[in-house]
Amino acid sequence: MSADSWKLTLPCTRAEAEAIDAGAIAIDAVLMTTETVEDDVEKWRLDAYSEAKPDAAMIAAIRALVPSAAGIAPRIEPLTDADWVAMSQQGLEPIREGRFLVHTDAHPVAALPGERAFLINAGQAFGTGHHATTSGCLAMLDRLAGRGFTNAIDLGTGTGLLAFAARHLWPGARVTATDIDPVAIDVTRENAALNRVDGIELVVADGARDPVITAAGPYDLILANILAGPLIAMAPEIAAIAAPHATIVLAGLLATQAEAVQAAYRATGCTVAEAETRGDWTILRLTAAEQAFAGPIPDVTGRENWARDI
């Protein structure tokens, strides 16, 4: 019996997973990264799904993405009479955070009264809601529901989930979703149509310095679920686009990194309003200063690996 498709699997680290830019890799395969041990940044897995059996060139190209797997033989297996897209959704059980329900095609579930359901499949962008950072941000937004935000931005939007949640909570607000990766913006656009979410402005942008972003500011709600390093480096530019006393939600940082992130934002005049720890991860809610930060904004390179919603 012939194989309908093939799967190649190698171990990887979280850093390697987040560095993969699926839109810029010339590999005839769909790449999927998965956290295999919860909150262990060293225990991730890369799966490459292809219609043809991986040849030496494809194996070498995939190996180059995960240097930590050097010396480990890839597992290559045929997928006979199997829907590998559905397989990739296995294990992603529906989650509920406040009024939000997030599920995949593989695990459909009906929303309860008062819930807003989002269908978010795993794919070429991060942010299905199943990681503690993204689910923590959903819970944080749910607690902010009574606030009157009018101009929100989701930096590093990934799948668009947090932007969709903001649109649901504040239907009259302007909501912008940005990502440095054009693939993520395409995924967000597709997810918006799938979930009947409209009115979100989509921008391919490097951080918060893009003229389109600054021209639409200041923002009274800023969401950034990325990584501790970029959050620290971007503190001045995020503070610069914040309206007086704006709410800033930061995630993607380990609990051990929380103090360094807080210190970076205190230096711009922000204050810490709330810090929630989920496992090894911390979600921060900050309040911006009365006046927008006007200090120097560093020109930090290497952002192509930053804008990854977890």
What is the CATH number for 57? 3.30.70
Query: Is residue 116 in a domain?
Result: no
Nearest Cα residue to 67 out of 9, 16, 14: 16
- Residues 85, 127 share a domain: no
Q: Which residue has the higher pLDDT, 182 or 80?
A: 182
Same domain, residue pair 215 and 68: no
Least confident of 32-36, 113-117, 142-146: 32-36
**Whole-number pLDDT of residue 194:** 94
Average pLDDT estimate for 279-299:
79
Sign of the alpha-carbon torsion through 282, 208, 121, 33: negative
- Binding-site positions for S-adenosyl-L-methionine read 134, 156, 179, 225
Judge if 24 and 131 occupy the same domain.
no
Cα separation of 308 and 132, whole Å? 14
In a domain, 205, yes or no: yes
Residue 26 lies in a domain: yes
Per-residue model confidence (pLDDT) at position 295: 66
Domain of residue 79 covers 5-89
**Is the predicted pLDDT of residue 83 greater than 70, yes or no?**
no
Last residue of a domain, one of 89, 111, 137: 89
Contact present, 119 and 270 (Cβ < 8 Å): no
pLDDT tens, 213-250? 999 989 999 999 988 888 999 999 999 999 999 999 99
Residue 84 covered by a domain: yes
Instruction: Looking at the structure, tell me whether residues 232 and 295 fall in a common domain.
Output: yes
How far apart are alpha carbons 159 and 129 in whole angstroms?
Answer: 9
Question: Which segment, 73-82, 171-180, 227-236, 301-310, is predicted with the most confidence on average?
Answer: 171-180
Residues 179 and 160: their CA atoms lie apart, in Å, by: 9
CA 253 to CA 26: how far, in whole Å? 31
Taking the model in full, what pTM does it have? 0.70
Asked whether residue 96 is domain-assigned, the answer is no
The residue out of 44, 74, 89 marking a domain boundary is 89
Please tell me whether residues 167 and 36 are part of one structural domain. no
**CATH number of the domain where residue 147 is located:** 3.40.50.150
Co-location of 255 and 163 in the same domain: yes
Task: List residues forming the annotated binding site.
Answer: 134, 156, 179, 225
Q: What is the pLDDT of residue 111?
A: 84
β 30-35/44-50 pair status? antiparallel
User: Is the preceding omega at residue 182 within 30 degrees of 0, hence cis?
Assistant: no
As beta bridge partners, residue 155 has: 178, 224
- Is the domain of 80 the same as that of 163? no
Instruction: Give the residue from 75, 123, 126, 101 showing the smallest Cα distance to 308.
Output: 126
Same domain, 151 and 299: yes
Task: Region of 50 please: left (phi>0), alpha (psi -120 to 50) or beta.
Answer: beta
Q: Are residues 139 and 179 in the same domain?
A: yes
The candidate with the shortest Cα–Cα distance to 254, out of 16, 40, 36, is 40
Tell whether 97 is covered by a domain: no
User: What is the pLDDT confidence band of residue 131, given thresholds at 50, 70 and 90?
Assistant: low
Q: Is 4 left (phi over 0), alpha (psi -120 to 50) or beta?
A: alpha
State whether 53 and 164 are in the same domain: no
Last residue of a domain, one of 43, 74, 89: 89
- 155 & 241 share domain: yes
What is the rounded CA–CA span in Å between residue 264 and residue 285? 14
* pLDDT for the residue 155: 95
Length of the chain: 310
Distance CA 294, CA 31 (A): 41
Domain count, the chain: 2
111 in a structural domain? no
In a domain, 125, yes or no: yes
18 and 158 part of one domain:
no
